[in-house]
Amino acid sequence: MLKKSFTALMALLIILGGSYFYFSGQQAEEVYIERVIDGDTVETAAGDSIRLLGVDTPEIDWENNNSEFYAEKAREFTLNNLADQKVLLEYDKEKEDNYGRILAYIYHDGQNFNQKLLAEGYATLMIVEPNDKYRAEFENAAAEARESRKGIWSQVLKIENSLPLISYQQAELFRGERVIVEGEIVDTAATDSVNYLNFSEDYQNTLSLVIFNRNLNKFDYQPAEYFLNKKIKVLGEIELYQGSPQIIIDDPYDIIIID
């Protein structure tokens, strides 16, 4: 028994002594992170760009020196945790995206850093099939951060004093403007391509919130079910579609339930 234990221990040390490790029977590579581009994109000392799987942090527009809400804080969090560190890369079904970036889950100090970004409110979900190995864990982490209004989930409340706060009846008066609308969602619909959230059952003559199904991979819930009969605040730009006002919601942290 002692001999078997010693053999197993030596095998483990050999594995840990090399440049490859194993997670649940899957090979994972050790790399050195030299540069952090933004919250969900880093670069190795070898010059490889790594896009973190399953998450999406707010964007930084380097060319115009402009950032989305919480983008700088998300980058700083990744910088403080991963820069100049050896980390482990675990892969899913696809190893590269269309831009030639490596797609990976990053492990640091024994933790899944992608999931940590979600749990601390620095990122939303971005589950792109077939890379959905940790869908359940990531959805739970995002839900807990959202319910606690951590990080990006505090956006609406943090900036509501700097924008017009209006009712849905006033929407047409603010066409082309960025506003926060407060009201109750009383009617919803889900089609093959769009989720609609309406402030009135007369949906053709009321403000509609539009969530295209291509963006549902950012949500840890089904919007048409989740928001029905809930009082909400939503951030967005009023536009007209076929004569009726609407707001297109691209990110889940643009809309929150209020008491």
Distance CA 39, CA 52 (A): 9
Distance CA 107, CA 200 (A): 47
Which residue in the list 101, 135, 149, 178 is annotated as catalytic? 101
Q: Is 101 a catalytic residue?
A: yes
Which residue in the list 30, 59, 144, 177 is annotated as catalytic? 59
Amino acid at the residue 215: N
HSE value, Cβ hemisphere, 13 Å, CA-based, for 173: 8
Structure letter (DSSP) for residue 131: B
On whether the CB atoms of residues 35 and 85 are closer than 8 A, the answer is: no
Distance CA 24, CA 185 (A): 44
Nearest to 60 by CA among 50, 49, 47, 75: 75
Q: Which residues are catalytic?
A: 51, 59, 101
